[in-house]
Every structure is written in structure tokens, then in C-alpha cells.
């Protein structure tokens, strides 16, 4: 990734072969604050979403197991940035690949998921 200003969320991100780019929790949270049209997508279970690690404030929950059947719910975000969260970054990679195959172009896997988000001071977490 190449950023003109390290504080700016406007970076050139090389998309990986699976159709998404990896970002840190800090990068994702900064970009979500700056881009009101971006989506925070949580692909964990409903119990995890409200559980110990919580979720990013304003996130949309679609468990990865339901994503194929519910991908139409995300149609409005097809040309917008989607930051994908799970517990640790594994399920979000699966979701990124699935969404890329469905034609979504601006996908970002949050590499350490909500475990990493919880380590960010002042992160906007709801439980």
C-alpha cells in the first residue's frame, strides 16, 4: 500500500489475487471515519456480533455462512468500499473472495479482525 499522507485514508491499495486487499484495523477504522459511504461488514455469527469482542459501531451483520444467499442485500455497495470484519481475519478472507466473485470491486479484509480492533485505543466498538 502506498499512502501520500500517513494520516489520510486515501491510499493506493494493490488488490490481491482473491479480489480483495488486506488492511490493518487502524487503516479500516480511519477509512470508515473518513468515508461515510463505506460499509463495515461483519461476517461472524449473531452471538459473536453482540459478544465479548463486540462489533464496529454501525456495522452490518451478515454471517459468512449466509452471505451467498444474502449478497443481494449489498447491491447498493457494489461500487463502494466494503471493510470486512470477523474474529481474526479468516472468515473475512472467505467473504472477500465470495464478494469479489459476485462483482464487488472495493473490498478490504481487516487482517486481525475484531481481535485487532479491540487493541486499537478508542476504537468505536459496540457490545
Confidence at residue 96, expressed as pLDDT on a 0 to 100 scale: 98
Confidence at residue 125, expressed as pLDDT on a 0 to 100 scale: 98
The hierarchical CATH code for the domain 20-121 is 3.40.250.10
Gap between the terminal Cα atoms of the chain: 31
- In angstroms, the CA 60 to CA 110 distance is 15
The answer to whether residues 100 and 127 touch, using CB atoms and an 8 Å cutoff, is: no
Domain boundaries, the chain: 20-121
Confidence at residue 11, expressed as pLDDT on a 0 to 100 scale: 47
In the chain, % helix, strand, coil (3-state, to 5) comes to: 35, 20, 45
In this predicted model, what pLDDT tens digit does every residue of 33-84 receive, in sequence order?
Answer: 999 999 999 999 999 999 999 999 999 999 999 999 999 999 999 999 999 9
**What is the number of residues in the chain?**
127
- Can you spell out the DSSP letters for 23-72? E-HHHHHHHHHH-TT-EEEE-S-HHHHTSTT-EETTPEE--HHHHHHHGG
pLDDT band per the 50, 70, 90 thresholds, residue 1: very low
For residue 125, give the 3-state DSSP assignment: strand
- In angstroms, the CA 72 to CA 23 distance is 25
Q: Which residue has the higher pLDDT, 125 or 6?
A: 125
Amino acid at each position: 500500500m502506498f499512502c501520500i499522507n500517513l494520516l489520510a485514508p486515501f491510499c493506493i491499495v494493490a488488490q490481491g489475487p482473491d479480489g480483495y486487499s488486506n488492511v490493518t484495523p487502524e487503516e479500516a477504522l480511519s477509512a470508515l471515519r473518513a468515508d461515510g459511504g463505506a460499509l463495515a461488514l461483519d461476517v461472524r455469527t449473531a452471538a459473536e456480533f453482540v459478544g465479548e469482542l463486540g462489533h464496529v459501531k454501525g456495522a452490518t451483520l451478515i454471517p459468512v455462512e449466509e452471505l451467498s444467499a444474502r449478497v443481494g442485500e449489498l447491491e447498493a455497495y457494489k461500487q463502494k468500499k466494503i471493510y470486512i470484519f470477523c474474529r481474526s481475519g479468516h472468515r473475512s478472507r472467505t467473504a472477500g473472495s465470495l464478494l469479489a466473485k459476485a462483482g464487488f470491486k472495493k473490498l478490504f479484509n481487516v487482517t486481525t479482525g475484531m481481535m485487532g480492533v479491540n487493541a486499537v485505543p478508542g476504537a468505536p466498538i459496540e457490545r
